[in-house]
Amino acid sequence: MAIRQIRVLGDDVLRKKCKEVKEMTPRMHTLVEDMYDTMYEAMGVGLAAPQVGILKRIVVIDTGEEGECVTLVNPVITLKEGEQVGEEGCLSLPGKVAVVKRPDHVICEAFDEDMNPITVEGFGLFARALCHETDHLDGILYPDVAEEPARDVTMEEVE
């Protein structure tokens, strides 16, 4: 559909709490399609609606693994287990990473894009993405929960 502008650190919208989605209108379906297009164009694995300036509780995730491509409407993480520590980046903080501790196993209750209730279980990268993207819905960015300050990514790390 369309590529939307990704909001970057400093934009007030990224720090606001998103509103619950009451119904999936044609406009909301277009938003979801645009979010996937925007995420793929930016080579990300997840995107939350506030990152494109929309204060709605919607996230899209695609880690590239089978079963790990989801649209989550009004997601709520109901279980966090284990621990993983690793570098994390964000499309709203281009060129930056920081070490973040996240759960290694997550269960998330949400609705799909047709407002059918779903339960999603994630391990590893998928668990990390679920936590990262749902944090966005409450105005939380990864540097807020990082083990260290965000740092610039070097060219060697990109290659």
Does the annotation count 133 as an active-site position?
yes
Is 105 among the annotated ligand-binding positions?
A: no
Tell me which DSSP letter residue 31 carries. Answer: H
Give which of 3, 97, 110 is closest to 51, Cα–Cα: 3
Sheet arrangement for strand 117-123? 46-48, 58-62, 69-81, 105-111, 117-123
Q: Which of 133, 147, 148, 159 is catalytic?
A: 133
Q: How many CA atoms lie within 13 A of 127 on its CB side?
A: 21
Is 136 among the annotated ligand-binding positions?
A: yes
Is 132 among the annotated ligand-binding positions?
A: yes
* Per-residue CA distances from 64 to 7, 55, 71 (Å): 23, 26, 14
- Alpha helix stretches (DSSP H) within the chain: 26-41, 124-136, 142-145, 155-158
Annotated catalytic residues are 133
Show binding-site residues.
90, 132, 136
Binding site for Fe cation: residue ranges?
Answer: 90, 132, 136
